[in-house]
Every structure is written in structure tokens, then in C-alpha cells.
């Protein structure tokens, strides 16, 4: 009996120590994520809280962050200050409405501009991302709704443990050349260099087709936006729903044809008015940078001019827009890297411009246990993989040379034995992928040691952070 009493006491002490340790990791250890892309939420929230006068408040995913030049917008509408709360679709969009609402005031205009994708047009919310975004500043849990608070509590142990691991390793992810806190300006706009032209393989992100399907707009999303709009009306705040620019190459002719009916359905279901039309937001690929919704530096100016005209019309301002729209930039040529090409003969290819896309494996390729997607073949870089190109029952380990710029969703799903994926590039921003990359595989993704932290917080790769490992 005495022995069992000690067991119970030890178990009770352990149960008490675990939450104490997690709380210590989260709130006592120095911030680990405060230089990352997500951490700019703290700066954006501070600007909303402290900016005086009437404001134009932009809320949405990263499209809002990449697509607007707030300084130009202020110069055209000098009665208003601009606050850009656009951040990251992977965090969620409606949660930003909840975070912003208490700091909105009479005379403000809110432009809610989620990207045209199923995730952003829902109440999806990644609680661990919000913990990371507020690292070093206590998260405003009281502003969240009940389900969001519950999700935050559920994600807390993973966040606290991850922060402790970074602390013990002496690591502090600061993001990469584009996706970092330092890349934003005082308004909350993306304002760093290296966004001059379109860097996407084939000119668009094949993982993110643009569809105008009213059934894809989540009912909970509509209810959340309407509840937010009603709360804003009580505060004498005007709300519009706008359309971020979207890459024309990602929308089929059939989808474009139903954009008008889609907008009519939105207008019927929402209590807030629409600003602009989806048709006017479909732009050529030359204006985009690294996703179908991220404009390059020239596109950012061009869209700000369009947005200014829409806002002036809504406000009854007949003055002309004086923003000079630049010529569309040329598509950027990616640097071609040398690398390992010994397995080039095991793949089949199709030529896309001055590059190759891997379309499949040869008969001999399907018998190999290890393969490397080559850097080049016949003098041209290998930059893309087609969906289903790697189907093989034998493949255990795959290396991807650094000229590959795009990995489609589910590209590894036809490889049941695959256990290791080795990425050769140290620049995660140059290798685009989607949320479904690792569908139907248990493989781990190994990245260069010096780039591990950058991958873990990267815009494209953070969703796969639990499967990432540094190369030994």
C-alpha cells in the first residue's frame, strides 16, 4: 500500500510539473519566433491600435500583404491612414477579423480581401501559427471566439515544446530573404527587394487552381463575415469584400465564364457590399511573383492604382487617380545550378520552354531504390514534376536537385515504400509546393542543415514542419 501511495504521489507531481514546464517554455524563455514572417502580426496590430484618425484597414491573407502600396493609397486618399493586416492564408483569414474588431472605430473602412481559394474562404484557423505569431507578446485570447480559443489551448503544448527545442539548440529562425518580419514596411505591406518578376515554373502555381464555385464558399465563413459586418455597422465602420488579383493562367476559360454568377451569389449571401468584380481581378502572369496571388513589385503599384479607383468611386470622390502604372516586367530567368545528373536516364521528360518537366519513370527507373531528380538533362534545367511522375513500388529514397522550382501536391503518393526525400536547395522560397505535397506517404523530408530553420517557418514549407528534418 505504501509503495502504491508513492506511485500516486509521483504521478500527481508529474501531472503538475508538465503544465508548469510548458508555461515556462512558452512565456519565460526568450522569444524564438519574433523575427519570422508571422511575427509581423505584432507590428500590424500595434499600428491598428495606435493610428489616429480615419483608417482604411486591409484584412486578408498574404495577397493583401503583397498586393498593396499603402503609401500610394494614402497619397490618393489623404483623409485616411492605411493599416495593412494582410498576413498568411495558412494562419486563417476570419481569425484576423476577430483580432481586429475591438480596435476598429467610427469612420474606418475595412476592405476584407481573402484570396480566391477554398481555405481562405472558410473559417480555417491554424492555432500553432498564431502562437508563433504572438511569441514574445501574450496572445489576445479574449478577442477570439470559443472554437478559436479551444484550438489555441489544444495547440499550446506543441508550440511550447517546439519553442523549447529551438532554445536548447540555440536556433532562432529569422525567415528567408522574402518571408521574414524585416520584409514589411511601417504600413504592414510587403516591401523587400527580389520581387521584381514572376519566378514560378510555367508562370503559375499549379497546386492552386482558381475556381469560382459558390458551393466552395463555406457557410460558416459567410456567417462569420456577416457577424463581423454587423458588429462593424454598430460601430459606424464600413466593410467591403474585395478580390485580390489572381493569375489568369490558373483559371480555365470555363471558370472565368462563371465568375459573374459567382459574384452575384456572394452579393446575395453577404450583408457587406462587394468592391470590384472577380473578372477585373484576373491578371496576366507577368504581374505575379511566387504564387497565383502574390504580385511582384510592379504589380503591387498597378493594383494599388486599381484599388484607389474603386475606393474613390465608393466614396463619391470624382478626382482622378494619379498613380503611374509601370509597364509589366519581363518574366525572370532563374539561375541554373550544377548538380548530380547520374540518374537522368531513369526519367522521362517533356520540354516546357527552355526547361524540362519530369513526366514519369522509365522501366529501369521504376526498379531503383534510390533516385536523384537531375539538375539538368541534355543541357536544360529540370524545373518541374508532373503529377504522378514518380510512381514506383521500389523507391525508398529520393533526392531533388535545386533547379526544381515546383513540387505538385501528391507527387509522392504513388510511392508506397518511400521513406526519405532529400531537398538540395538551401533556399526554400525558390521551391514552391502546396499543403497536399506529402499526401499518402509517410516519408520524412531532409533539408540542408543550415536551412532547416528557414524551411520550418517558410510560407510554403511551414505546413510540413512536423515532417522536416535537417540532413545528418
Listed residue (35, 33, 40, 103) closest to 66, CA to CA:
40
Q: Which of 214, 231, 229, 224 is nearest to 271 (CA)?
A: 229
Q: pLDDT at position 22, please? A: 61
Tens digit of each residue's pLDDT, the chain (472 residues) = 455 555 554 554 455 555 656 666 667 789 999 999 999 999 999 999 999 999 999 999 999 999 999 999 999 999 999 999 999 988 999 999 999 999 999 999 999 999 998 889 999 999 999 999 999 898 899 999 999 999 999 999 999 988 988 888 888 887 667 889 999 999 999 999 889 988 887 888 888 899 999 887 889 999 999 999 999 999 999 999 999 999 999 999 999 999 999 999 999 999 999 999 999 999 999 999 999 999 999 999 999 999 999 999 999 999 999 999 999 887 766 788 899 999 999 999 999 888 899 999 999 999 999 999 999 999 999 998 988 899 999 999 999 999 998 898 889 989 999 999 999 999 888 888 888 899 899 999 999 998 888 888 888 898 898 899 999 8
Whole-model pTM: value is: 0.83
Please give the pLDDT value at position 274.
97
Q: Look up residue 31 and give its three cell numbers.
A: 522569444
Classify domain 344-470 by CATH architecture: 3-Layer(aba) Sandwich (3.40)
- Cα–Cα distance for residue pair 127/462, rounded to 1 Å: 13
Please answer whether residues 126 and 148 qualify as being in contact, where contact means their C-beta atoms are separated by less than 8 angstroms.
no
Whole-number Å distance between alpha carbons of 147 and 144: 8
Domain spans in the chain, listed from the N-terminal domain onward: 40-315, 344-470
The CATH homologous superfamily to which domain 40-315 belongs is SGNH hydrolase (3.40.50.1110)
Give the whole-angstrom CA distance, residue 114 versus residue 142.
24
Decide if 40-315 and 344-470 have a common fold.
Answer: yes
Amino acid at each position: 500500500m505504501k509503495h502504491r501511495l508513492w506511485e500516486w504521489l509521483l504521478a500527481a507531481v508529474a501531472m503538475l510539473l508538465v503544465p508548469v514546464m510548458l508555461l515556462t517554455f512558452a512565456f519565460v524563455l526568450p522569444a524564438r519566433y519574433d523575427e519570422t514572417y508571422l511575427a509581423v502580426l505584432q507590428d500590424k496590430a500595434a499600428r491598428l491600435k495606435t493610428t489616429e484618425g480615419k483608417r482604411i484597414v486591409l484584412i486578408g491573407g498574404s495577397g493583401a500583404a503583397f498586393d498593396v502600396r499603402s503609401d500610394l493609397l494614402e497619397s490618393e486618399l489623404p483623409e485616411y491612414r492605411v493599416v495593412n493586416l494582410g498576413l498568411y492564408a495558412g494562419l486563417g483569414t476570419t481569425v484576423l477579423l476577430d483580432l481586429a474588431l475591438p480596435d476598429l472605430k467610427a469612420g474606418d473602412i475595412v476592405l476584407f480581401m481573402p484570396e480566391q481559394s477554398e481555405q481562405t474562404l472558410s473559417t480555417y484557423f491554424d492555432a500553432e501559427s498564431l502562437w508563433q505569431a504572438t511569441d514574445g507578446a501574450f496572445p489576445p485570447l479574449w478577442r477570439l471566439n470559443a472554437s478559436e480559443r479551444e484550438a489555441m489551448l489544444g495547440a499550446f503544448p506543441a508550440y511550447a515544446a517546439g519553442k523549447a527545442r529551438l532554445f536548447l539548440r540555440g536556433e532562432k529562425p529569422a525567415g528567408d530573404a522574402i518571408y521574414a518580419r524585416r520584409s514589411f514596411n511601417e504600413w504592414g505591406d510587403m516591401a523587400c527587394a527580389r520581387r521584381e518578376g514572376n519566378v514560378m515554373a510555367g508562370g503559375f502555381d499549379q497546386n492552386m487552381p482558381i475556381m469560382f464555385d459558390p458551393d466552395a464558399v463555406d457557410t460558416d465563413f459567410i456567417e462569420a463575415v456577416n457577424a463581423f459586418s454587423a458588429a462593424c455597422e454598430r460601430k459606424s465602420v464600413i466593410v467591403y469584400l474585395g478580390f485580390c488579383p489572381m493569375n489568369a493562367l490558373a483559371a480555365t476559360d470555363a471558370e472565368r465564364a462563371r465568375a459573374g454568377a459567382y459574384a452575384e451569389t456572394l452579393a446575395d449571401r453577404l450583408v457587406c457590399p462587394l468592391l470590384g468584380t472577380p473578372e477585373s481581378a484576373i491578371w496576366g502572369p507577368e504581374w505575379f511573383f511566387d504564387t497565383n496571388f502574390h504580385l511582384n513589385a510592379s504589380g503591387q503599384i498597378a493594383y494599388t492604382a486599381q484599388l484607389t479607383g474603386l475606393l474613390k468611386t465608393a466614396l463619391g470622390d470624382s478626382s482622378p487617380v494619379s498613380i503611374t502604372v509601370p509597364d509589366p516586367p519581363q518574366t525572370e530567368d532563374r539561375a541554373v545550378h550544377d548538380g548530380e545528373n547520374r540518374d537522368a536516364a531513369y526519367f522521362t521528360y517533356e520540354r516546357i520552354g527552355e526547361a524540362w518537366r519530369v513526366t514519369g519513370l522509365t522501366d529501369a527507373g521504376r526498379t531503383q531504390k534510390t533516385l536523384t531528380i537531375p539538375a539538368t538533362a541534355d543541357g536544360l534545367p529540370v524545373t518541374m514534376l508532373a503529377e504522378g511522375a514518380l510512381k514506383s513500388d521500389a523507391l525508398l529514397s529520393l533526392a531533388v536537385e535545386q533547379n526544381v522550382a515546383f513540387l505538385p501536391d501528391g507527387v509522392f503518393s504513388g510511392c508506397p515504400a518511400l521513406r526519405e526525400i532529400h531537398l538540395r536547395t538551401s533556399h526554400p522560397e525558390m521551391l514552391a509546393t502546396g499543403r497536399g505535397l506529402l499526401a499518402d506517404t509517410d516519408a520524412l523530408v531532409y533539408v540542408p542543415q543550415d536551412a532547416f530553420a528557414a524551411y520550418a517557418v517558410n510560407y510554403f514549407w511551414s505546413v510540413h514542419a512536423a515532417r522536416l528534418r535537417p540532413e545528418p
